[in-house]
């Protein structure tokens, strides 16, 4: 009994495993019909392989330049990969930045409140200093002679409203009245 033609096609491609291969070979030797079928497949394969083909690799210089262009694309790609960030990380970072922004916006009035309280406390603590300042000014007013006052003012303009003046030195202090 003759094998399936499909098996002969595979045999022509050397794709039949042992021991079927040997059994098939023995059959083909004795069967003219199968030999003809096998020959038809082999001739067809040879004809397909004999089809004229342009010589694509004849121009070595062109081949090299084509490869160089490819390599440049590859290098660029590799460089780009170094700074490549996966999309999910990027979106997570964007969400994080947005949340941070919202948080800062919400916390701003609270921060202002804290700042104001701090200034108020500072003012309270400097009340004693303020009374000294008042007595100094009173002395200056009463004294007919010219006085030289050296003061250090706070540098920050934002502190102006709540700023405190520090008296470092009073020239010619009236004896017995002020130390």
Binding residues for another protein, rule: CB under 8 A, are 5-6, 9-10, 13, 15, 40-41, 43-45, 47-54, 56-57, 63, 66-67, 70-71, 73-74, 77-78, 81
Closest to another protein by CB, 44 or 123? 44
Q: Residue 93 CB, nearest distance to another protein (Å)?
A: 23
Q: Residue 10 CB, nearest distance to another protein (Å)?
A: 5
Q: How far apart are CA 125 and CA 107, in angstroms?
A: 27
**DSSP-derived 3-state class of residue 131:** helix
- DSSP-derived letter for residue 159 is G
Closest to another protein by CB, 40 or 133? 40
Distances (CA, A) of 46 to 1, 11, 41: 28, 15, 9
Q: How far apart are CA 82 and CA 56, in angstroms?
A: 36
Q: Residue 89 CB, nearest distance to another protein (Å)?
A: 18
- DSSP-derived letter for residue 124 is H
Closest to another protein by CB, 87 or 106? 87
């Amino acid at each position: 009994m003759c094998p399936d033609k499909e098996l002969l096609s595979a045999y022509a491609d050397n794709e039949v495993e042992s021991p079927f291969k040997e059994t098939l070979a023995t059959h083909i030797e004795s069967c003219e019909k199968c030999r003809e079928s096998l020959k038809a497949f082999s001739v067809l394969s040879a004809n397909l392989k004999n089809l004229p083909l342009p010589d694509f690799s004849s121009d070595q210089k062109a081949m090299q330049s084509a490869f160089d262009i490819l390599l440049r694309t590859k290098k660029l790609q590799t460089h780009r990969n170094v700074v490549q960030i996966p999309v999910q990380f990027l979106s997570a970072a964007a969400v994080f930045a947005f949340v941070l922004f919202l948080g800062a916006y919400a916390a701003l009035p609270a921060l202002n409140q804290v700042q104001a309280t701090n200034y108020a406390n500072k003012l309270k603590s400097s009340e004693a200093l303020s009374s000294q300042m008042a007595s100094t000014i009173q002395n200056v007013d009463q004294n007919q002679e010219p006085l030289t006052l050296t003061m250090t003012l706070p540098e920050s303009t934002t502190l102006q409203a709540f700023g405190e003046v520090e008296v470092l030195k009073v020239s010619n202090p009236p004896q017995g009245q002020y130390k």
